[in-house]
Amino acid sequence: MSKTNPSPGPVIIPVNKFPKKVPSRPDKESQILFSKTFYYSLVLIVITFVTFFPSLRNDFMPTWDDEKYVTGNPMVKELNLENIRKMFTKQVNGSYVPLALLTFAIENELVGNKPLLFHITNLILHLLCTLLVFKILRLLKLDLIYAAFGALLFGIHPMRVESVAWITERKDVLFSFFYLAAIILYIRYITESPRKPKFLLYSFLLFFGSLLSKIEAVTLPIVLLLIDYLLQRPLHRKQIIEKIPFFILSLIFGLIGILIIYLVGRKGQDILTTDQALGFSDRFFYGLYAITGYIIKFIVPYSQSAMYPYPVMAGWTMVWIRFVNPVVIGVLIFLVFWSVRKTRAIAFGMLFFLVNIFFLLQIVAVGNAFFADRYTYLPYLGLIFITLWFAAEVVKKNAERKVQVITWLSVFAAICIVLTFSRCKIWKDGVSLWSDVISQYPERSMKSYANRGISYMAKQEWDNAIDDFSSALLIGPVSAGVYGDRGIAYGFTGEQENAIDDFSKAIRLNPKNTKNLYNRGVTYGNLGQTGKAIMDFRKVLELDPANVSTYAGLSMMLIKEKKFDTCRILAEKGLKIDPSRSELYTILGNCELEKGYPNKAIGMFSNCLRIDSKSLDAILGLSAAYTNIDDKAKAFQYLDFARQVAQNNDIRMNDLTDIERSGITLLDKKKEALQKLLAQKR
């Protein structure tokens, strides 16, 4: 008899006993949101934002390139295809920075010349760079706490202020954003398995964006090799081949930079010139001195300045620069070389610093700034890496020192926060910035006094401006620009003879400077010396036939000489160049009124008011013209309007004397008509 398996009975589930529910895996967003990395990143953003908050209250800095790049740059005044084409095909102030200019143009389109948005953008880019540094330090194997401290030091170090608080240095934070992002993708390319070529492509595209923001990004291919070295990636032919596109692009932009320097130099512009008294030997030793200075200021960020004059090569300073400092550099090189036997970290960090600072040392001189805080924005990442790597190593060797190490890092960070917060306020405006430079380097630089003088002029503090321009001229070298600026200040204080004297000195130094010729012509006109004014204005037009302001000035002089036909021809030429110049319509209106054509005058004055609705000269011209055609109602209407505008601008307008004092053009028929109107009752 065969045996069969019994059929299974019913499965009985014990009462009150159920299978445990398998927990679901948290989604990727939840993992990020509740990770330590997220909270560290949040803390980094908050602390860095608060530290730089005073920078959001700062103004533009016209005396320190903001006018050249932003407020006075026609390329960013209007966002259109033609201006975008110019951004990508022209240099500005010796720099090729099309992406930075594009961001300025977008901001100008949104808010005009209001500095807040520009400062906000700079700070946002800096915050993003800080987070990218955090990511890089993690990818370079630093523990979370040390990577966070490293990113914090990058974000809050006082040497960051110039790059963040100065609108023009959008170049630094923008190129660094692309540069750091390119590094992250490259590290992912070489560390993730399987290797994804798309990361290398994305890294290359970000490198291109970095170069379009600032040419200093040319160092990236070398930095990629340094990363290979640090992460112990074997050196193979493929490793070199994959970087060839990076090196080619770097070479192209390097040649573009050299070409710009050559072209700017041919035009005789002084933006890239250096002290001709300095030979290569001097520049070499100053370059070594700058390296030591940057390292010291990383550890002890003291005596920061927007401008560092060259140290005087004499006495102990000469001994330090030419003898002691090179020995210090030599010892430093030896220590770095010696460290390679035990670790690659120190060599990597120091080489990252040197590679990114080398072209800014002015050893091959292309400018006056041999030392600048902004030059450290990216290079300091190398020193930060060494610092935090060393901190981590100390704790690895003795875990009991962790509290001590974290305490020291926290104290240093707190000091940096206080110094940076305070330093941001120094960049409030030109007066505060250049006063800070002068307090540290009194009577060392003509430029600092001249720039503060221009800043005082913007505040209409004419006497302070004159004092600073005088100090600048005493320090020297003699400058046509400073004489011209002091002449303008003298003009606003009513010292017309002193103004003419300064303009004349400036013209002797630079006879082709149309600005000083024009200003002297205006001053002659104010003194009633119309013949001399006409001569200066004609010289300006010989040098610059498209100078619309001079057409207006010359026309005004000719109308006073009652040369109405010549005046009209010049005013019409000016309008062909720039149809938006309202004062030229007023001049034409005055010509027609004096020639006895009040209806034509009304048309011209009305054209002026369509452009400038508060032009007193045009409003009173309409009042006079309507008086001449016996339209009493409109004549009084425009007279009342003129009085309202005058009152809003604190200008007295009770009689003809007040009108003449306000600068209104009053020739025979206009004066006669207004006198008749003022004598009438409504």
Tell me, what's the pLDDT at 243? 93
Rounded to the nearest integer, the mean pLDDT of the chain is 89
Q: Are 374 and 408 spatial neighbours (Cβ–Cβ below 8 Å)?
A: no
Say how far apart CA 534 and CA 518 lie, in whole Å.
10
Say how far apart CA 334 and CA 347 lie, in whole Å.
11
Say how far apart CA 560 and CA 578 lie, in whole Å.
23
Say how far apart CA 652 and CA 422 lie, in whole Å.
45
Tell me, what's the pLDDT at 682? 57
**Backbone dihedral region of 268: left (phi > 0), alpha (psi from -120 to 50 degrees) or beta?**
left
pLDDT along the chain (682 residues), means of 10: 46 46 53 76 96 96 92 92 93 91 96 94 98 97 95 97 96 97 96 90 97 95 96 86 94 88 62 59 90 95 91 88 94 94 95 94 70 95 97 93 95 97 96 96 92 94 96 92 96 94 95 93 92 94 93 90 90 92 92 91 93 90 90 89 85 74 76 81 58
Helix, strand, or coil (residue 642):
helix
> Which run of H or E residues covers position 668?
helix 668-679
> Which run of H or E residues covers position 118?
helix 115-139
Tell me, what's the pLDDT at 180? 98
The counts of H helices and E strands in the chain are: 35, 0
Q: CA dist 544 to 245, 353, 502, 552, 682, Å?
A: 46, 47, 22, 14, 49
Using one digit for the tens of pLDDT, what is the confidence trace for 500-526?
Answer: 999 999 999 999 889 999 999 999 998
Apex 462 CA angle, 655 and 73, nearest 5: 100
Helix, strand, or coil (residue 146):
helix
Residue 367 makes CB contacts below 8 A (sequence gap 6+) with 94, 271, 272, 273, 274
Structure tokens at 2: 């065969």
Using one digit for the tens of pLDDT, what is the confidence trace for 223-233?
Answer: 999 999 999 98
Identity of the residue numbered 333: I
Q: Which residue matches tokens 């190129």?
A: 175
Say how far apart CA 295 and CA 376 lie, in whole Å.
10
Torsion of the alpha carbons at 327, 329, 332 and 334, rounded to the nearest 10: -70
Structure tokens at 677: 């109107």
- Write 429-437 long-range contacts (CB < 8 A, 24+): 429/58, 429/59, 429/61, 429/455, 430/61, 430/62, 430/63, 430/64, 430/454, 430/455, 430/458, 431/455, 431/456, 431/459, 433/61, 433/64, 433/306, 434/63, 434/306, 436/305, 436/306, 437/305, 437/306, 437/307
HEC profile of 186-227: HHHHHHCCCCCHHHHHHHHHHHHHHHCCCHHHHHHHHHHHHH
Structure tokens at 519: 């200003």
Say how far apart CA 237 and CA 234 lie, in whole Å.
10
Identity of the residue numbered 457: M
Neighbours of 345 (CB within 10 A): 21
Q: How many CA atoms lie within 13 A of 252 on its CB side?
A: 10
Closest alpha carbon to 462 in 481, 445, 486: 486
Closest alpha carbon to 500 in 488, 514, 482: 488
Say how far apart CA 92 and CA 73 lie, in whole Å.
9
Neighbours of 249 (CB within 10 A): 18
Q: How many CA atoms lie within 13 A of 516 on its CB side?
A: 24
Say how far apart CA 411 and CA 587 lie, in whole Å.
67
Share of the chain above pLDDT 70, in %: 92
Neighbours of 289 (CB within 10 A): 23
Chain centroid offset of residue 400 CA: 47
End-to-end CA, the chain? 140
Structure tokens at 679: 């004598």
Q: Are 543 and 521 spatial neighbours (Cβ–Cβ below 8 Å)?
A: no
- Write 162-165 long-range contacts (CB < 8 A, 24+): 162/304, 162/306, 162/372, 162/373, 162/374, 162/427, 163/126, 163/373, 163/374, 163/377, 164/52, 164/55, 164/122, 164/123, 164/126, 164/424, 165/52, 165/55, 165/58, 165/119, 165/122, 165/423, 165/424, 165/427
Say how far apart CA 393 and CA 398 lie, in whole Å.
9
Q: How big is the chain, counted in residues?
A: 682
Tell me, what's the pLDDT at 276? 52
**Omega before 194 cis (within 30°)?**
yes
Apex 223 CA angle, 221 and 229, nearest 5: 115
Q: CA dist 108 to 300, 480, 541, 674, Å?
A: 38, 32, 32, 43
Q: How many CA atoms lie within 13 A of 660 on its CB side?
A: 11
Structure tokens at 262: 């050559």
Apex 87 CA angle, 81 and 89, nearest 5: 100
Helix, strand, or coil (residue 667):
coil
Phi, psi of 95 (to 5 degrees): -125, 145
Tell me, what's the pLDDT at 27? 59
Closest alpha carbon to 452 in 62, 164, 162, 70: 62
